[in-house]
Structure formats: C-alpha cells, structure tokens
Structure 1
Amino acid sequence: MEFILKSALDDLDRTILGALVRDARISWKDLAAEAGVSSPTIRDRVKRLQDTGVVQNFVVEISPAALGYVLEAVVRFRPLPGKRHVLEQQIQDTDRIVQCDKVTGEDGFVARVLLKEIGELDPLLEVFGRMATTNTSIVKSSPVRMRPPPF
C-alpha cells in the first residue's frame, strides 16, 4: 500500500500510537485518560489514523512455541531460470512459511519457516528443489522482532 501522510503526526497521535502498540485492546476510556482527552476525541483520532493508513490493522500475536513450533529457520531461495512465479506460488501455499520477502540480489526470496523439529526441514525444502536452490539458517534468537517504525 503506497501511503503519503498529508500532515505530520502530532503529540496526541504519537501518544495514541504508543498506547495501541503496547495494548491494541486498550479501552477508549483508558486511552483517553492516558492521552488526557475525551473518549470521543480518541475515537475520532484513531479513525483518522486508520483512514489515512497509519493504523492498518489490530492483530493477535500467536506464540509459535505454544503451538509446538520450537524451531525457526530463515531460508533464502534462489529461483532456477524461468521458475520465479511457480516458486513464489509454492512459497505462498506453504503454511509453515510465516513470512517472506521478495528481495534484490542473487536470492529472490527470504522466508521465515516454523518447525516442530529439525527433521521437518528437509522434507519441507525438497518440494522447492525443482524451483530453486536454498540456503538455510536456524534462528538462535531474535534480539529484534518485528517492531513498529519510529513515529
């Protein structure tokens, strides 16, 4: 989504965004109290932030570990000649791939894969063998998870 903010964020917008990042389920009343304005003002501001595309979604974050996915891998895919589109479709169709970026350079795609055990990795990657070469790294930890941009 291409987006151009028509006016700069003010202090109230930043306060609202900070509170929503910490807890997207915060009540209008609590958000208004934190920001020092009325609940109707908060509702209007949040609606404006949504309408302008600053706030795109309110989401639930699910713990992969709680569902048994104890390993995460980063896989770089280098498409074979003429296979970029079929590779992209296969990546989209593979539910264990939870994030993927199309990138510049020698690799065409960089993906994050969830695994319950290391033995699942080879069978998962074998599907891609006719479409791409792969390079895989196991994630040891994530010092910075996806976080919002500075506002």
Structure 2
Amino acid sequence: MLSIFIKTFDELTTGELYDMLQLRSEVFVVEQDCVYQDIDGKDRKALHLIGKKQGKVVAYTRLFPGGGYFDEASIGRVVVKEEERKYGYGHDIIKASIAAIGDHFKEYRIKISAQKYLIRFYEKHGFVQVGEEYLEDGIPHIGMIRDALNVV
C-alpha cells in the first residue's frame, strides 16, 4: 500500500530529499536516457507529494500554485519507480496531486507538460491536450489542461 505525504521543501527530511532526487535521476536521467538539469531551483518553491511503500520513496510529484511554473497551477516531475508501476501508483499520485492543489492552493485549473506517450494516462484524470507537440529535453511533450469545471 502506498502512503502519501505532502510537504514543503523545508519540511522534507534529508533522507526524503535524497530519495526523491535519486528516484527522479533513476527514471528521468538513466531509464529515459535524458541528460538534463533536474535540480532546477524550483524545488524550494514547490509542494512535494511523496509516495512511500514500506518507508521507501517509490512515487513523487511536485506541485505549484498558479504563477509558480505556468499561469495555472501545475503538477510536474511525475515519477514512479519502475518495478512499482504495475500497482497503479501513478494513478494514485495524480489523484492525490489534483486533490492537494485544491486543498493547499484553492485552485482547480491545472496545466501539465506531459510526455506524449502518457496522453491517455492523463486523459483518464480529466486532462485535455492544448497546443502543439514540442520537444522538451529531447522528448516529445504536449501541454495538457484539467479544468475541474469541465471534468465529469
């Protein structure tokens, strides 16, 4: 079972910070073979959603209010440890991220920069494509918006 924790940067323990950065590096840099600057200075401003299983960080997102990354609230750095994906933890952390944005920021319109192969995944959570496909760090992405007023 996945336990969800939501923390500001200053509330993170050193161990949680290390584990979350290790997971992001493991997936985004090594697994996806993408060289990019993961530590981008935005972690200090983000709200961090951490999914732990048996005390280990296996899933993660970072959340921003409107104006923090996009004009709308946003979810980024969505990641689940490879061997844990079969349990549906990606869906769990997206649902928790959407709820956290509403609870903490009182915002219900969310924009993401989605890797193109994950479009259907995000559509299941009420996101719709906006704009044209673009490359981000050499990976095809598409902008997507979720507006709680339009979600059924």
TM-score, normalised by the number of residues in structure 2: 0.25
Give 1 or 2: higher strand fraction.
Answer: 2
Q: Which has the higher contact order (CA 8 A, sep 6+)?
A: 1
TM-score, normalised by the number of residues in structure 1: 0.25
